[in-house]
Amino acid sequence: MKVDAARLEQLRQLLVKESQASEIKTTSEYEAFRIAFTDGLVIAYKTGKIVVNGESCRDLLAKVLERMGLEETRYDFIIGSDEAGKGEWLGPMVVAAVALTSKQSGVLRSLGVMDSKALSPKKIGELKEQILGNAAAVKTVLVSPQTFNERMEELHDEGKSLNDLLAWAHAKVIGEIHSQLKRDHAGMRSEVVIDEFSKLKTQERLRRVLALKEVDVIQRPRAEDEMAVAAASVIARRVRDEWIDRTSKQLGVDLLSLTPNDAVRRADRRRLAKIGYLEKLVS
């Protein structure tokens, strides 16, 4: 799991107070501390990454993190959105949004949810199911390569860019989640957190799907530090991977084994690839 590196010392102090806790010597310069329990081990790295050995040890760590108030917020829900595949030539672009309560955020943190770029495909698949089982709401929009190609050609003719497509997709999933939460939780307070890419375009799109006075919208770099955004990144990546697996089976070819030169020679390349990115790689 991952925590703010600035909170590691506080975490260490709380853990060593637990019964049967024993702080032991670190084994590398990258470790902040090691604490052994009778049935497990907690290893904290200076980056904020924490590795836990043992399920009961993980549960203990989750309770300590909850006491630290890592997920405390004045909002009933945090809605985070993120995307996968926007800059990759193979497969679709997927945008996901996830809504979490502070308690749900704590549960997902204890299960190891973090930015999908730091996770293996196998772990992403496992965590997707955990997120679906613990989130207040999850929404996705998948832009297939063929649709992506068509939309980018239209946007280019209109003097627009990928940011316009991203703003539309983020606004769509956020708007759908916000509408669902409003129906199910009257008077709820929510915050929307998005990775920073184009504030003006995103704000413009969001105004079309929700009243901005009803929510606080935050766009910032490294938004994956927020658990709802990290969860959205996992969902988006997994949905993209599933599309690639499914399409590989349909076509009888391992798409991940294709090189750009292989793909550009295929008659169905527009179905598989984002043409603008692909042609740059083979030109």
Q: With a threshold of 0.85, does the pTM exceed it? A: yes
Residue 41 lies inside a defined structural domain of this protein: yes
pLDDT band at 168 (very low <50, low <70, confident <90, very high): very high
Same domain, 82 and 218: yes
Residue 134 lies inside a defined structural domain of this protein: yes
Residue 262 lies inside a defined structural domain of this protein: no
Residue 258 lies inside a defined structural domain of this protein: no
Per DSSP, the residues of 248-276 read: HHHHTS-GGG--HHHHHTSTTHHHHB-HH
- How do strand 40-45 and strand 31-37 relate by DSSP bridges? antiparallel
Same domain, 99 and 60: no
CATH classification of the domain holding 156:
3.30.420.10
pLDDT per residue over 137-157, tens digit each? 999 999 999 999 999 999 999
Same domain, 41 and 167: no
Query: Residues 12, 128, 259, 269: is their CA dihedral positive or negative?
Result: negative
pLDDT band at 187 (very low <50, low <70, confident <90, very high): confident
CATH classification of the domain holding 64:
3.30.310.10
Same domain, 62 and 85: no
Rounded to whole angstroms, the Cα distance separating 165 from 84 reads 13
Residue 225 lies inside a defined structural domain of this protein: yes
Helices (H), 92-160: 102-110, 121-134, 145-157
Rounded to whole angstroms, the Cα distance separating 265 from 278 reads 11
Total domains in the chain come to 2
Does residue 212 register a pLDDT over 70?
no
Same domain, 150 and 43: no
pLDDT band at 188 (very low <50, low <70, confident <90, very high): confident
In terms of residue numbers, what domain contains 226? 77-244
Does residue 225 register a pLDDT over 80?
yes
Q: How close are the terminal C-alpha atoms of the chain, in Å?
A: 42
Same domain, 130 and 206: yes
Q: What percent of the chain has pLDDT over 90?
A: 69
**Higher pLDDT, residue 226 or 222:** 226
Residue 270 lies inside a defined structural domain of this protein: no
Same domain, 131 and 233: yes
Residue 275 lies inside a defined structural domain of this protein: no
Same domain, 113 and 207: yes
Same domain, 166 and 203: yes
Question: Which tokens hold the place of 270?
Answer: 């527009």
Same domain, 99 and 20: no
Residue 25 lies inside a defined structural domain of this protein: yes
Same domain, 149 and 64: no
Same domain, 93 and 62: no
Q: How far is CA 154 from the centre of its chain?
A: 29
